[in-house]
Amino acid sequence: MPKNILSVENLNGGYEVFVGRRRVFVHAVDDVTFSLHNNEVLGVAGESGCGKSTLAKMIYGAIIPPLLVKGGSISITTKGGEVLNINKLSIDEVRRKIWWIEISYIPQNSMNVLNPLKRIKDQFIDVFRYHGIKMDKTETVEHLRDTLTTLGLPPEVINAYPHQLSGGMRQRVVIALSLVFNPRIILADEPTTAVDVVTQRTILSLLKEWRENNKSSLVLISHDMSVHAYMDDRIAIMYAGNVVELGSSLDIFKEPLHPYTRALIESLIRKGDKSIRKGLAGQPPDLINPPPGCRFHPRCPYVMNICRSEEPVTTFLDNDRYVRCWLYTSSR
């Protein structure tokens, strides 16, 4: 059995917001359970707005209102072997003990997270200073140049302001920043959406190599199934706040079980393919008012009566493969 370094159990959460004067809850992560093994790549795929980034923020412990954790637990085994419950720690403790050192987070739209008023070099120096790491300026700059060079960036970048860099360059700067403290877990939210395919492969290969050398684990969030095919050991498929299916990459691609996963795999366009695709009719649900029963039922081609009223239960096929769909419960 592989060792787990992160376990997420029955996690529930979302955003408490006002619509007009009415207080509503956007239920973006609903009863999510999975574990992250030591030294693996776990992909998270799913539709736009299904809660992937919210899940990442919750794991990172970046719970800032209106984001709210309603229940469940997230536990992590640290470098020192200590087991910490991330959602029991105060934000200050999370910041000191977890961020950058145990878990690094490459946020979505990372091209946007850089401070527009500071040169790249000063942004790095701030992070070093924050963690009390003493490095003199020339040493930092040397270290920086090296990290940036491995990601295919010219050394001049350290003196640039963010607006002087293209989208893809800014993204690589943020990735470089996230690796500096050798974290055991990297949460990467759409790390290569803004770069060309050559650079994408370079970044992914570098992340792969870096991860293998450090025996770290990577949670890779992407809506791009080709990225998952290239990188993942296992994939979790999300739909409207639920993980609807989880399994090894080969299984998910070769034998998708959940009707959403099937539609997803069938919508993939390969290079040199012009045949008309339909995608999936209908819209992803509003998470303030998710449909009753299975959240996918309004778009599901195999919908049955039970799907309209009762939430599906999780069916385990083996330790590392499960699906959350009535089709598989009734047949058992």
Ligand X SMILES: Nc1ncnc2c1ncn2[C@@H]1O[C@H](COP(=O)(O)OP(=O)(O)OP(=O)(O)O)[C@@H](O)[C@H]1O
Q: Is 225 in the site for ligand X (CB under 6 A)?
A: no
- Complex with Mg ion: residue 71 or 167, whichever CB lies closer: 167
Shortest Å, Cβ 108 to Mg ion: 4
Q: Is 59 in the site for ligand X (CB under 6 A)?
A: no
Site for ligand X in 268-297 (CB under 6 A): 287
Q: How far is the CB of 66 from ligand X (least distance, A)?
A: 5
Task: Please identify, among the stretches 96-104, 124-132, 210-218, 279-287, the one whose residues bind another protein according to the rule CB under 8 A.
Answer: 279-287
Quick one: which of 5, 11, 28, 187 contacts ligand X (CB under 6 A)?
Answer: 28
Find the shortest distance in angstroms from Cβ 9 to ligand X. Answer: 19
Cα–Cα distance, 118 to 161 (Å, whole number): 6
| Residues 167 to 206 in contact with another protein, rule: CB under 8 A | 167-169, 190, 193-202, 205-206
Residues paired with residue 7 on neighbouring β-strands, in sequence order:
35, 75
Answer yes or no whether residue 22 interacts with another protein by CB under 8 A.
no
Contacting residue, 29, 53, 100, 185, with Mg ion by CB under 5 A: 53
Closer by beta carbon to ligand X, 165 or else 180: 165
9 vs 31: CA distance, rounded Å = 8
Closest Cα partner for 69 from 55, 80, 79? 55
Contacts of ligand X in 60-119 (CB under 6 A): 66, 108
The minimum distance between CB 80 and another protein, in angstroms, equals 33
Per CB under 8 A, which of residues 56..85 are in contact with another protein?
none
Q: Round to whole Å and give the CA distance between 77 and 109.
A: 28
Tell me: does residue 291 bind another protein (CB under 8 A). Answer: no
Taking the least distance from each CB to another protein, the nearer of 81 and 116 is 116
Tokens coding 95: 């910041």
By a kind-dependent CB cut-off of 5 to 8 A, residue 279 interacts, out of ligand X, another protein, Mg ion, none, with another protein
Check binding of 140 to another protein (CB under 8 A): no
30 binds another protein per the rule CB under 8 A: no
Minimum distance of ligand X from residue 57's CB (angstroms): 8
Min CB(174)–Mg ion separation in Å: 15
First to last CA, the chain: 26
Given the complex with another protein, which of 68 and 229 has the nearer CB atom? 229
Window 70 to 109, contacts with Mg ion (CB under 5 A): 108
Question: What is the Cα–Cα distance from 42 to 234, expressed in whole angstroms?
Answer: 5
- Please state the closest distance from residue 194 (CB atom) to Mg ion, in A: 7
By beta-carbon proximity to ligand X, the closer residue of 56 and 84 is 56
Instruction: Give residue 323's identity as a one-letter amino acid code.
Output: V
Give me the residues that bind ligand X (CB under 6 A), please. 15, 17, 26, 28, 46, 48-54, 66, 108, 163-169, 194, 223, 287
